[in-house]
Amino acid sequence: MKRRLCAALVVALGLFVSAPAVPAESAAGPGMAGDEALKLLKDGNARYAAGQSTHPNAGGERRAATAKNTPQPLAAILGCSDARVPLELVFDQGLGDIFAVRVAGNVAGPDELASVEYAVAQLDTPVLLVLGHTECGAVKAAAQNAKVQGSLPFLLNQIRPAVAKARAWSPTASGDELLDKAIKANVWLVMENIIRKSAEVRKRVQQGRLLLVGGVYDLHSGQVNWLGAHPDQGKILVSASKRPAAPKPRPAPAPVQGEAPARSDTVDQGSMIDLPPDAPAAASPAPAHQ
């Protein structure tokens, strides 16, 4: 009897020692620093990639708590809508831990930018992550100048400047090499667009209240290649802060009876209408980083 009891204790102790450590509640509390929140994201991705996810904050108690009180997420993540990149799973987080903004090509049009601003201004998220991923179909379509229909041309027009930068970095690149560089360039471009177009994000980054970082998720390994802050963040912040406020759009004139309403070309809708669908993107000067 004693031998059986001892054997059972040894087995139980072995299971206890070998089990992965379950992280503490990962949701950001008021005043959590950006580097601390970023570490939680990195640790969660490391667990996921190693097949040791712990799925924190996923039970009924957490669900009830978040339904009663809106939590402060660890991070706002602007990522691709690709079904292979589920953000909570990739970072091993739970309910209320991530404010997810997902759109094909992880672009920052007016709606995405507004969502990001809500997260940082109203929920006080300490980290804003722009996350691309390998083999991104939207970036590939832009790189190949694919013929698309419906609203897709407007989406691809937001990505084409990143493809132009990738070609400027490596004029001879093509195929997978060009795609990989364009995916990275697209992350940098989106980060720059956010800084330039959002006074709220600029203010918080300058005050040290928001950490704006980029990353590229690898579909095969499950790991995030962390790019860090934009290499030209300081210059972009200074340049964007000096820009005069954009004039308010003028209302469109009242239509003449029997005629269709006139289009107003003065309304600024951000990068959604930067280029007409069939216009080629002009190549941007090559940045100092690759």
Q: Say how far apart CA 212 and CA 232 lie, in whole Å.
A: 12
For the chain, list the domains and their CATH numbers. 35-54+65-241+281-290 (3.40.1050.10)
Buried b (16+ CB within 10 A) or exposed e, 125-164: bbbbbbbbbbebebbbbbbeeeeeeeeebbbbbbbbbbbb
Looking at residue 248, its pLDDT comes to: 55
Give the amino acid at 258: G
What digits encode the pLDDT tens for the residues 26-82?
A: 555 567 899 999 999 999 999 999 999 999 999 999 999 999 988 899 999 999 999
Looking at residue 273, its pLDDT comes to: 32
Q: Which secondary-structure segment (H or E) carries 100?
A: strand 98-102
- Work out the burial of residue 209: count CB atoms within 10 Å of its CB; fewer than 13 is exposed, 13-18 middle, 19 or more buried: middle
Which string of DSSP letters, residue by residue, matches 182-246? HHHHHHHHHHHHHHHH-HHHHHHHHHTS-EEEEEEE-TTT--EEEEES-TTHHHHHHHHHHSPPP
| 3-state class (DSSP) for residue 128 | strand
Residues 6+ apart with CB under 8 A from 43: 23
Give the amino acid at 106: N
Looking at residue 272, its pLDDT comes to: 33
What digits encode the pLDDT tens for the residues 204-220?
A: 999 999 999 999 999 99
What digits encode the pLDDT tens for the residues 112-125?
A: 999 999 999 999 99
Q: Pick the more confident residue, 244 or 269.
A: 244
pTM of the shown model? 0.77
* Averaged confidence pLDDT in the chain: 82
Looking at residue 25, its pLDDT comes to: 52
Looking at residue 31, its pLDDT comes to: 73
The mean pLDDT value for 131-147 works out to 97
Going by C-alpha positions, the residue among 207, 142, 206 that lies closest to residue 178 is: 142
Token pair of 288 as six digits = 């100092």
Q: How many CB atoms lie within 10 A of CB 167?
A: 20
**Confidence band of 249 (pLDDT split at 50, 70, 90):** low
Cα–chain-centroid distance for residue 261?
37
Q: Say how far apart CA 133 and CA 141 lie, in whole Å.
A: 14
Looking at residue 79, its pLDDT comes to: 98
**Confidence band of 242 (pLDDT split at 50, 70, 90):** confident
